[in-house]
Structure 1
């Protein structure tokens, strides 16, 4: 559909929302409609001055940055990489924390000047309650990657933006923040959401590796060449095989929920018990063909032990384990 026609339809839908308290059926995609209705209930007005979310400055902002030091250290190299891909496209890359406070931005100078006019800068707070439907705040509420294009923004002032954001999760499923790519709506790129999602997963993987340096790790993928890439599944394990956490690829592949961490063991999900891995020996380059019992899928995987551990030292903890044998999860 022509962008101008789309904008007109969206504006008419917003008028209907203001008059009746709900969006007309089918006029707006479901997630955007839900966000618009939340924005209205929060008292946000599409036109006029933003009444909340004043940018943090001074001591408050320094405290926020201090609390976010680890996330910033891990995310900055990924943001640099993303910016190389979108440079000179009138766009910017944004990292926000779980409270929608912008922590760090990179962008083309001409677009940054336009973004400043709507407070798209470090220290600004982009919750739905403050700024209505927007990719950063709405992705955090929905806990899923999403795009907010042009007039889909609840505030008229933000309708020049095309934004794609992906939430960032810890290995235990805690929401850490969001990675957003925003640009000029007239120059929208179809691949932006995919790039933001990939970047978020790169940050998640780096976070997992940093936080679980002293734990055992299982890296796996359905293709041998996929092990070691941004698409691999990663699980953190205790020496007895207890699953401590994992990335989104692992959770999706193995159908594991965040509530399962600390309850399931490797032997619950794998056709090859952990003791067999250790009996065979291991190396950082070994890839073995495995089957996840509760999914039936085969994967290539490698077990990585931390520097202070050795298979010989760790094996007794696994071989002597007297925990009860659990039945595999249902498919």
Structure 2
């Protein structure tokens, strides 16, 4: 039997199995592809691709994400590009905004539809790295015949979601391979790189959204989690990443109602927080050689605010004395 036909029959048999979707996340995705999106695994059309104007609008809508992710996408490609991989940044709808690949691999990726402007949502292409990552909001590896469409089974796709400063889904980071000999072990190594890069993008995005706030890391961060809080000059928590929201039981998505940091962290947590604040002020004052106005500008706060924080934290010594503590 032709490999493409065998793949189609395998997918449809699994979807029609009474227990298949419940037993396997992969089959559950295949089932969505058929039953929710009405797709056919034998479909041979390349992904829908936006025209230049529509792609430009998409990119402009994600200027901040693209600005933050650009350098990190370059770094990620620098680590995986030599092995025949492309790195892509996609928005929350599965539209590829940016791609990095070697010139020698470009024709292959273009033929697959892995290019800027292509729609890789699960609704359009069924189970695939980008679309399934976005649908399930988790890291995925969709390796070769795990794809829904038979036309996509030559690819290995490794993805991690990117979440914004208010817990919202911003997009996905993808590495797709043009090699037929890529092993499961290599896929796992690339998956760790993709996840770390996505976390770095999330952390930088959070800091840029709250430029005047003090950023506090909340405990130990897992492999899929960035746990940061944004705290203003009055010790009110005004922002939290998705990981921090989950850890503290805060609203999952959207702006936060300001809440005293002590109410969230307790006295033990506040002790560490105040130590971090104290250290940051000492460093700022030392860099400014004791010039409070200059230190305040460096911290992005007013001079009066800095004086209040210094008094509250017991920093009434000279900058020279503080720097020796």
Q: CA RMSD in A?
A: 3.5
Which string of whole-angstrom CA distances, capped at 9 and with x for unpartnered residues, describes residues 254-280 of structure 1?
565525932653212323375996699
Shift of 1:243: 2.5
Q: 1:282 aligns with which of 254, 278, 299?
A: 278
Normalised by the length of structure 2, the TM-score is 0.75
Aligned to 2:170: 176
Aligned to 2:317: none
Aligned to 1:207: 205
Structure 2 counterparts to residues 113-152 of structure 1, below 5 A = 113-152=107-146
CA contact (8 A) 1:23 1:37 kept: no
Moved over 4 A (4+): 7-12, 23-29, 251-257, 273-281, 314-318
Q: 1:308 aligns with which of 301, 305, 315?
A: 301
Which string of whole-angstrom CA distances, capped at 9 and with x for unpartnered residues, describes residues 191-234 of structure 1?
12111111110100110111110123213545xxx9xxx98742
Asked whether 1:71 is paired with 2:69, we answer no
Alpha-carbon separation, structure 2, partners of 1:208 and 1:93: 23
Equivalent residue of 2:106, what SS? helix
Shift of 1:120: 0.7
Q: Structure 1 residues 24 and 118 mapped into 2: Cα distance closer, same or farther (>3 Å)? A: farther
Unaligned runs of 5+ in 1: 1-6, 288-304, 319-331
Alpha-carbon separation, structure 1, partners of 2:277 and 2:113: 56
Structure 2 counterparts to residues 8-87 of structure 1, below 5 A = 12-17=9-14, 21-23=15-17, 25=19, 30-41=24-35, 42-50=37-45, 53-87=47-81
Alpha-carbon separation, structure 2, partners of 1:207 and 1:280: 21
Alpha-carbon separation, structure 2, partners of 1:34 and 1:231: 25
Task: Identify the range of structure 1 (266-275 vs 156-165) with the bigger mean alpha-carbon deviation.
Answer: 266-275
Aligned to 2:193: 195
Q: Structure 1 residues 211 and 91 mapped into 2: Cα distance closer, same or farther (>3 Å)? A: same
Aligned to 1:294: none
Alpha-carbon separation, structure 2, partners of 1:148 and 1:163: 5
CA contact (8 A) 1:172 1:244 kept: no
Q: 2:236 aligns with which of 230, 242, 264?
A: 242
CA contact (8 A) 2:202 2:226 kept: no
Equivalent residue of 1:147, what SS? strand
| Structure whose residues are more often helix by fraction | 2
Instruction: Count how many residue pairs are aligned between Structure 1 and Structure 2.
Output: 285
Aligned to 2:86: 92
Alpha-carbon separation, structure 1, partners of 2:243 and 2:34: 35
Equivalent residue of 1:187, what SS? coil
Shift of 1:172: 1.3
Alpha-carbon separation, structure 1, partners of 2:23 and 2:250: 29
Task: Identify the range of structure 1 (25-34 vs 165-174) with the bigger mean alpha-carbon deviation.
Answer: 25-34
Q: Structure 1 residues 281 and 118 mapped into 2: Cα distance closer, same or farther (>3 Å)? A: closer
Aligned to 2:214: 216
User: Larger Cα Rg: Structure 1 or Structure 2?
Assistant: 2
CA contact (8 A) 1:89 1:108 kept: no
Alpha-carbon separation, structure 2, partners of 1:277 and 1:79: 32
Unaligned runs of 5+ in 2: 284-297, 314-325
